[in-house]
Amino acid sequence: MAILKIARMGHPVLLQKAAPVADPGAPEIRRLVADMIETMDDAPGVGLAAPQVHVPRRLFVFRVPAGRTTGDPGDAPLGTTVLINPLVEPLGEEVRLRWEGCLSIPGLRAAVPRAWRVRYRGMDCEGQEVLGEATGFHAGVVQHENDHLDGILYPMRLTDFSLFGFAEELARAELARQQANPVEAAGAPPA
């Protein structure tokens, strides 16, 4: 296994439309998936698409950490999952803003409009079909990673550039807001 070099925004590989994987069970695909998981965990990140490691093929890995879920039934924690040649489609019309970062855009975060609920399918390295329905964080990470396969980076999705900034500054501003209004920050109902 190996930790792979991650392409950063500006590298042309991130703007390419990736090609389908001909044989999901091929040894070189298994090796790529194992290396991508190691690279994602090392970064650390919650998702990584093949074009981000300079391989323009349609596959990504992701996970849903317990601390990031919204508590919605479709948004339960999920261990590391591989999707090869995925198809992702929104379920319903609902779109919400979700905070996202990207390993190819280090240090920055933005609130990105994403379908709240999606359905997806793809294959794993055993050639088995993977089917899923997701909401919230889970739905967002799948849409973000799937966008990478079409050469789309999250800044291309932004509708409000005032919600785009350095993660460190956004966290500082959030802390200041919480300190200014601790009751509201704690989620207590208004008096």
Contacts to Ni ion by CB under 5 A: 102
Residues assigned a catalytic role: 145
User: Of the two residues 84 and 102, which places its CB atom closer to Ni ion in the complex?
Assistant: 102
User: Of the two residues 102 and 134, which places its CB atom closer to Ni ion in the complex?
Assistant: 102
Using CB positions, name the residue nearest to Ni ion: 102
Q: Which of 166, 168, 152, 172 minimizes the C-alpha distance to 108?
A: 166
Identity at 158, one-letter amino acid code: L
User: Of the two residues 25 and 101, which places its CB atom closer to Ni ion in the complex?
Assistant: 101
Cα–Cα dist 109/158, whole Å: 11
Place of tokens 């994602």: 40
CB of 14 to Ni ion, least distance (A): 9
Q: Which of 143, 35, 25 minimizes the C-alpha distance to 91?
A: 143
CB of 64 to Ni ion, least distance (A): 15
Beta strands 108-115 and 95-100, pairing class:
antiparallel
